[in-house]
Amino acid sequence: MRSRQRMFAAVMRLLLKCLRLGRRRRFKLVRQVEQLWHYGHLCLRSLLYNSFTDGDVVLDSLFEPVYWLVDHVTRWFGVVFVALVIGLTSSIVAIVYICLLPLILQTYTPAWICWHLAYGHWNLIMIVFHYYMAITTSPGHPPQAKNDLTGVSICRKCIAPKPARTHHCSICNRCVLKMDHHCPWLNNCVGHYNHRYFFSFCLFMTMGCIYCSISGWEMFRDAYAAIERMKLLEKERLQVAANQTYYQTPPPTFSFRQRAFHKSVVYLWVLCSSVALALGALTLWHAALITRGETSIERHINRKERQRLQKKGKVFRNPYSYGSWNNWKVFLGVDVPRHWLTRVLLPSPHLPHGTGLSWDLPPCVTEQRAPLLAI
């Protein structure tokens, strides 16, 4: 009897210990939940303590993980996009040399042959040169140390001097002089020192695609019709093979070389036409920005500033615009008339006006514009 009582007492003591341990665990869990709640409440209040904080700042904070993922994916995919551009361009050039050039030499007149050879090779040289320079030329970065530059702000991410027209690239994780945008097809930022190379590549690539589309239109129609005939004959051959008797023979089929030729022509025309439409629209957009003397980022900034001043009855004037014609001369680096040939129509590695740190009046501009605002 006593042994049973002792055993019952031992079991009860063990049960009480388990209950006490469970209470401790529950208390610890509740305390952790309270700590997380207070931490989250503090984070939320830290977002709202500043009077300048608005909905955009909150959304940017919430989407910060998404921005981080996009930045890193874009940085990695840049190498893939560059390889894709080189591969597709090389395939078009190979098709032109292997399939189309022999046909041109056999059927065209000597004058047309000379024109196609001269224009085609000039356009190809301009595309290769400007694309190589765009991906290998640094867009320009401000110095990290303090200097004597006037009107310099501080970048909130780099904690370094930030000259006018400079913006921080989250993909490159650096400030870029006169930043336009980060181009994944270049795996590089488009800035002060390679903006001309980027635009020239877009322009000459569009011109080359239009040239191939127009020149190959008749060949494309013939090749497409030949492919349709291939499909029809292949269908008839299969039907004859299924019902073949002793005296029946299948209809003739196209050779592998003929199939490859026609499909290559169709591939060339479809790819060049698609790129001409997409890249042509982008080129026109950047041409309009250059005409106004602003970059893609400055367009949004100037539009907001224009709306803000319009409410006050003032007119906004871009301090970096010198007129449509002068803007193009400054962008292309044309100082004298012969530069239209040596710097625009021929490959030229000349540097742009200025250093990207200060924006003095270029020598090709003879008329001084109003600095900023006009009432």
Tens digit of each residue's pLDDT (9 = 90 or more) over 134-145: 999 999 998 876
User: Tokens at residue 176, please?
Assistant: 């870029």
Give CA angle at 66 (60, 70), nearest 5°: 120
Q: Is the pLDDT of residue 45 over 90?
A: no
Q: Is there a domain that residue 185 lies in?
A: yes
Q: Is there a domain that residue 339 lies in?
A: yes
Between 211 and 229, residue with greater pLDDT: 211
Q: Output the pLDDT for position 69.
A: 65
Domain range for 123 = 60-216+256-360
Q: Is there a domain that residue 29 lies in?
A: no
User: Tokens at residue 299, please?
Assistant: 């367009």
Do the beta carbons of residue 218 and residue 266 sit within 8 Å?
A: no
Q: Is the pLDDT of residue 366 over 90?
A: no
Residue 371 confidence class, pLDDT cut points 50, 70, 90: very low
Q: Is there a domain that residue 273 lies in?
A: yes
Q: Output the pLDDT for position 373.
A: 40
pTM for this entry:
0.77
Between 38 and 73, residue with greater pLDDT: 38
DSSP 8-state class, residue 322: -
Between 157 and 254, residue with greater pLDDT: 157
Between 295 and 354, residue with greater pLDDT: 295
Mind listing the pLDDT tens digit for each residue in 71-82? 666 677 788 999
Residue 96 confidence class, pLDDT cut points 50, 70, 90: very high
Exposure string over 124-140, b if 16+ CB within 10 A, otherwise e: bebbbbbbebbbebebb
Q: Return d(Cα 88, Cα 187) in angstroms, integer.
A: 16
Q: Is there a domain that residue 204 lies in?
A: yes
Q: Output the pLDDT for position 374.
A: 38
Q: Output the pLDDT for position 52.
A: 54
DSSP 8-state class, residue 195: H
Do the beta carbons of residue 307 and residue 223 sit within 8 Å?
A: no
Between 20 and 305, residue with greater pLDDT: 305
Query: Rounded to the nearest 5°, which phi and psi values hold at 355?
Result: -105, -5
Mean pLDDT, all residues of the chain: 82
Mind listing the pLDDT tens digit for each residue in 189-226? 999 999 999 999 999 999 999 999 998 898 899 888 88
Q: Output the pLDDT for position 367.
A: 59
Supply the residues annotated as catalytic: 183
| Number of other CB atoms surrounding residue 326 within 10 Å | 18
Number of domains in the chain: 1
Report the DSSP pairing between strands 188-190 and 315-316: unpaired
Query: Rounded to the nearest 5°, which phi and psi values hold at 160?
Result: -145, 165
Mind listing the pLDDT tens digit for each residue in 306-326? 888 888 888 888 888 998 999
Q: Is there a domain that residue 160 lies in?
A: yes
Q: Is there a domain that residue 3 lies in?
A: no
Q: Is there a domain that residue 189 lies in?
A: yes
Q: Is the pLDDT of residue 49 over 70?
A: no
